[in-house]
Amino acid sequence: MSQALHLRSRDCQKLQLCFGLFNAAHGSSKQVIEAISYCSLSCGYDTTRSAISTLTNKSCEGALNIIDSHMFVYDNYVASTSNSIEQCKEALNKTQSGTLPMIYKLCSVKDPKDLALQPILNNLKTFRPLRLSDIRPKRNQSAAYLHQSKVTLIKTLIEFVSAFSYASQHPLVQYQACRQLDPLPKTEFFPLRMCMIEEASADGNLNIHKNIYLHQLKLDPDSLGKKAVPVITDQLTSSLIRTNQMERVDDLTVFDCRSMLQLGPAVFHMLLNLLRALHVRHYGSARQPGSLAWFFSMMDKKRLENDKPNHYTLESACEQILNGLILDAWMKECGKSLEEYAKEKPDLEKLYQLVGKILEEYATPLPEIKKLQKKETTRNTKNLRKTAVLVKALLGDDSNTPGNTLATSSPSSPPPLPPPLNPLDPEADVICQNTRLLFQNLLYAHELKISTSSAIFHGCGSNKYVLEILYYLNNLLQIWPKAFGDVMRDNTLINISGLFKHFMGVDLNIEHIIGYVKEIHESIGLLNTWDQVADLTAAIKSLHAVKVLIRNMLSLAYQKRGHTDPDTSNLVHLVTQVAKDSRLQEFVLKHDVDNSVKQTSDVKKEGYEKLEKTTILTLNRNMAVLHGEGSDIEEEDDEQDLITGTAIE
């Protein structure tokens, strides 16, 4: 019908306009678009550019419509040209960088007053120093994590041993939602024009805020001082924004102080940096059984041998290693092959109890015997002193009564060392201890992936990320009113599709958008002007919708018709077999024959000690600066930077 109307009038270009945008969305060149236009299948190149500019303006208008209840997110954009391009004075730099901004509509805002900024500023003035007991997990939180971990171990058994499929729908094998989000309505978002300002500096962040709010959206700075604006971004950007807030705490307006920006951690970047940190801490060498390098060598994953591996490749490999260790633990506890054990149809209550033993025996590091003895000695000394005081009270001051040996004995003299409470000394089998720590830490990463709970960054050396998480927890506890705290928690995850269990971190969504833009940018040529790239960025959501429309209209395949996801179960069973053959999860004296294996430190224990000694103190001092009682801004250095030579994002 559209083609028939187009034959009557060239002004009727409904199909032609959609097809022109479809070509632009796939990065077609100007010559291709013009050639298709001569065949009356598409509009011309100039008309397509004009349509993209119109879509860009529509996206900015959509952002203005939700400005009263919005979330502000941005990330860096980097594109590199070819080494073959001639270098000259007028040429662009090889690496072109900018910043892609996005405006999201907030969900779960029950009352516009929930976003009021003044109550937040008032709470900031009454801030009290944070204590370690404030952030220690409550009983219900620890129980929730324990249940999720048990479900993970049972689900792994069901996934890789089909004979246990009868248990897949049992209530005990379902993850419990501690805070279930509603997938509907779908999250609305509006990309804005990319700006040629790098976000990797404090001044750069200030200029980005001015470019977005004052130049692109043309807002009055005074209008931005009444409502809080959630900002979910990576650690580096959060740190730079907070530095600006501390340095400009005495500026005249809220916009100048940037007080309206309320920061939250980005889930995808948390997982990304956690896996990188674990990759460094547990890497070891290919000759060290139980290390990641040893597993990668067995699995023939050579791409993971560099300092900064691909995130998705590393995540997949860690999942396979975790699943293999879980299956090996199940085999040891069941005492027979898993298929034979499944024929007995064990009830879920029995499996649920058994999995608790697996967590304790295989995913918990062995305690250090020396510290256990010291702790027990201290306890015995205290008991002896209490007994001596009691005897003195009963016998009066006559402490030299004959036969009163208990009263005359020196209460300060320590009793003989008791026998070891745990005969399994971790130093006697370093390989077993390292495997337990790897099991525990990979399980933390897995739970973070599926439930967005925080994990063990501090012990891995990622001190800056821990500080950002502490800021977030402190704001939830003291600074943000409950209603606004719920808004911050609910909008950390978004749902673009509106489907159940299709949530993603806000930062992951913006990474997808950057990927779409780069695909078009590289197709049309990286030497195009930034005005074209800026228009493409703001119109990318509409261009993607046109791709889906044309694809559905012509019944085009989304992927190759023969595409199937690779079956990696053989790698999981390989890990299980090598763990069994090497007895990685068994305590064996002289397991390391040549004493070449170094013991991996317990990052959870190290993180707790750092929290207690330094990080909470740094947080309290910086919070004092934010409400005007201090002047010195303190930062924590990442050990990870020293290890890998790369910054934490």
- Phi/psi zone of residue 641: left (φ > 0), alpha (ψ -120 to 50 degrees), beta? alpha
DSSP H/E element including 494: strand 493-494
How far apart (Å, rounded) are the C-alpha atoms in residues 244 and 209?
Answer: 12
CB hemisphere CA count around 450 (13 angstroms): 16
Q: What is the pLDDT of residue 410?
A: 44
Q: What's the pLDDT score for residue 250?
A: 83
Q: Which residues of the chain have pLDDT under 50?
A: 372, 374, 391, 397-414, 417-422, 452-459, 461, 561, 640-648
- pLDDT attached to residue 371: 53
Q: Give per-residue pLDDT as tens, 576-606.
A: 999 999 999 988 877 766 677 888 888 888 8
Q: Scanning the structure block, which residue is given the tokens 């009983």? A: 139
- Measured CA to CA, the distance from residue 122 to residue 113 in angstroms comes to 15
CA geometry: angle 278, 279, 285, nearest 5 deg? 125
pTM of the predicted structure, to 2 decimals: 0.81
**What sign does the CA torsion over 502, 506, 508, 511 have?**
positive
Spatial contact of 286 and 594, defined as CB atoms under 8 Å apart: no
Predicted local confidence at residue 460, as pLDDT: 52
